[in-house]
């Protein structure tokens, strides 16, 4: 004899249909969430281990993004500083030519006065280049608040540190106060204007150990320093970006939904849902059929 009991109290078929429909609806909800968000792992309830790792990777990527923003700001500062140093270096080429002309004893007093005035004007431009080399209120070679006189040069500048990665590693950016360079050039200008330096004295500024030659060498060294820093920062930014790309790829492989597979699964579950609903409807009608047994 069959173990199936015809009852209006207990409807086993309906119970099975309800459980099946609930299971299908739960799966369908997960697939719909994956389709709408693009993620197969949206929360810790989906896959606790994968979600924890994904959150750690996202935190790392956020730190790298912030580091690259800071490095970008530092790029702007160093670029501004390098531009100022390049302008100073270019101008010193013209100042060198002025001193070479003044070193000639064939110049008349009027001609010498014109060259002295030219040197003074060039020196003023040097001061402008130095004191305007600031970025976002920060100056590495001398801010405009410096006190400049013919015999004294005091510039305000400060070294800084910048975070380079998500681990908090830092790079030191040294300040290069151009007080010494400006002071040497200013002293030469004072000598030309007030002491009326002779040709031999002016030639001394230009020889291998002369003050002007030393100033030229100092500016060249500063340009090399900031040029190297520019390359270092560019390389760090590139490295951080490449690392973020790798982390993003790994993160995608871990939590991104396979949209082609999810689409196929969605259609399959929708069909199963329709069938389960039909099955439940049929099961719900079974008790009413028993009334026909009682005419």
CA dihedral in degrees (223, 224, 227, 232; nearest 10)?
Answer: -150
Task: Please state, in angstroms and rounded to a whole number, the distance separating the CA atoms of residues 165 and 108.
Answer: 63
Task: Please state, in angstroms and rounded to a whole number, the distance separating the CA atoms of residues 241 and 250.
Answer: 14
Number of helices (H) and strands (E) in the chain: give both, helices first: 7, 6
- pLDDT, position 85: 94
Domains identified in the chain and CATH numbers: 68-252 (1.20.1330.10)
Q: 89-134 pLDDT, tens per residue?
A: 999 999 999 999 888 878 888 888 899 999 999 998 998 898 888 8
Q: 30-43 pLDDT, tens per residue?
A: 888 878 888 888 88
Q: Are 252 and 206 in contact (CB under 8 A)?
A: no
Q: 48-64 pLDDT, tens per residue?
A: 998 899 999 999 999 99
Please report, in angstroms and rounded to a whole number, the separation of the first and last CA atoms in the chain: 25
pTM for the complete prediction?
Answer: 0.75
**What are φ and ψ of residue 173, in 5° steps?**
-110, 110
């Amino acid at each position: 004899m069959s173990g199936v009991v015809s009852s209006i109290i207990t409807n086993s078929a309906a119970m099975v249909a309800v459980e099946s429909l609930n299971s299908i609806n739960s799966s369908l909800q997960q697939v719909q969430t994956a389709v709408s968000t693009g993620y197969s792992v949206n929360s810790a309830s989906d896959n606790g281990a994968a979600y924890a790792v994904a959150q750690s990777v996202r935190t790392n990527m956020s730190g790298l993004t912030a580091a690259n923003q800071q490095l970008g700001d530092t790029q702007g500062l160093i670029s501004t500083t390098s531009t100022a140093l390049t302008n100073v270096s270019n101008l010193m080429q013209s100042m060198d030519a002025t001193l070479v002309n003044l070193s000639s004893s064939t110049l008349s007093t009027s001609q010498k006065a014109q060259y002295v005035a030219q040197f003074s004007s060039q020196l003023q431009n040097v001061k402008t280049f130095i004191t305007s080399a600031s970025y976002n209120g920060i100056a590495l070679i001398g801010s405009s608040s410096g006190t400049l006189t013919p015999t004294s040069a005091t510039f305000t500048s400060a070294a800084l540190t910048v975070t380079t990665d998500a681990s908090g590693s830092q790079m030191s950016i040294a300040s290069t106060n151009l007080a010494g360079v400006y002071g040497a050039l200013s002293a030469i200008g004072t000598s030309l204007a007030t002491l009326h330096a002779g040709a031999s004295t002016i030639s001394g500024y230009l020889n291998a150990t002369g003050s002007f030659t030393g100033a030229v060498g100092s500016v060249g060294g500063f340009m090399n320093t900031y040029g190297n820093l520019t390359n270092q920062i560019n390389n760090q930014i590139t490295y951080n970006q490449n690392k973020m790309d790798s982390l993003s790829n790994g993160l995608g492989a871990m939590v991104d939904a396979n949209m082609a597979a999810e689409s196929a699964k969605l259609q399959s579950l929708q069909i199963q849902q329709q069938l389960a609903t039909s099955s439940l409807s049929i099961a719900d009608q079974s008790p009413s059929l028993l009334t026909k047994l009682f005419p």
